Amino acid sequence: MELIPWSIYNLIIGHYSLGIGLLAIYGIIFVTRQIMEPKILASQIGIYALVTVMAVYIGYRTIGFLGLIIGPAIVVIIQMLQNVGALPKFKPVKKSS
């Protein structure tokens, strides 16, 4: 986050190449984090990355900012309940031909 004020400062004082370069670095870091964080979170808690992204999104849309934490926590709780046998495991529905 410190890259944005630094780049704005450099753009104001006339160091355009450094300011634009800092903004480009920030953009690369931002995109990389958006792609990698769900995969890292998924590997740490043992759920699929898509399920993690869905839990974060659904939590955010239903509860707001707090849902970013509560959504994945609910998924982890459901997974733990499935592992101990309190909930049945979800199985894909087979389509008949």
**In the chain, domain spans:** 1-35, 46-89
pLDDT at position 97 over 70: no
- pLDDT per residue over 34-93, tens digit each? 777 777 766 776 778 788 889 889 998 999 888 888 888 888 888 888 888 888 887 777
DSSP state of 84: T
Q: Using alpha carbons only, what angle is made at residue 69 by residues 24 and 67, rounded to the nearest 5 degrees?
A: 95
- pLDDT per residue over 38-53, tens digit each? 777 667 767 787 888 8
- Of 53, 95, 97, which is closest to residue 75 (Cα–Cα)? 53
Contact 45, 76 (CB under 8 A): yes
- Tell me the pTM: 0.50
Q: Please state, as a whole number, how many other Cβ atoms lie within 10 Å of the Cβ of residue 38.
A: 20
Residue spans of beta strands (DSSP E) within 22-70 = none
